[in-house]
Amino acid sequence: MRDRCELPKQFTETDQFSLPSGDPASTVILRLHLKGLENFKVTNGKITLEAAVSGQDSRQWMEGKEDSPLDSKSPYWMEIRAVGMD
């Protein structure tokens, strides 16, 4: 199951949102219109995932453990793509 949520350009760092369906999704796609991403944090109330993006490089970690990065083999890995960078 996939849910897609496009956030408004006025989205702020403390805004919250809910998925369109009430059922938990196995995949969630967020489309953020940003100029940069110093720290992204998402939580479901039980698990907290974080990411930071600089240029084409990204770092991901969970539960505040930035010194223990996630890799693409982790079930919590988030695919992050920069689209339309000039």
* Mean pLDDT for back-to-back runs of 10 residues, the chain (86 residues): 57 61 65 73 85 82 93 89 65
Q: How many structural domains compose the chain? A: 2
Range of the domain at 69: 36-86
Question: How far apart, in whole angstroms, are the C-alpha atoms of residue 20 and residue 75?
Answer: 23
Would you tell me how many other CB atoms lie within 10 Å of the CB of residue 60? 20
Q: Based on the domain organization, do 42 and 84 belong to the same domain?
A: yes
- pLDDT attached to residue 39: 81
Dihedrals phi, psi of 71, to nearest 5 degrees: -120, 175
Residues 40 and 25 in one domain: no
> CB neighbours (10 Å) of residue 50?
19
Token readout for 69 is 């990065």
Question: Rounded to a whole number, what is the distance in angstroms from the first to the last CA of the chain?
Answer: 33
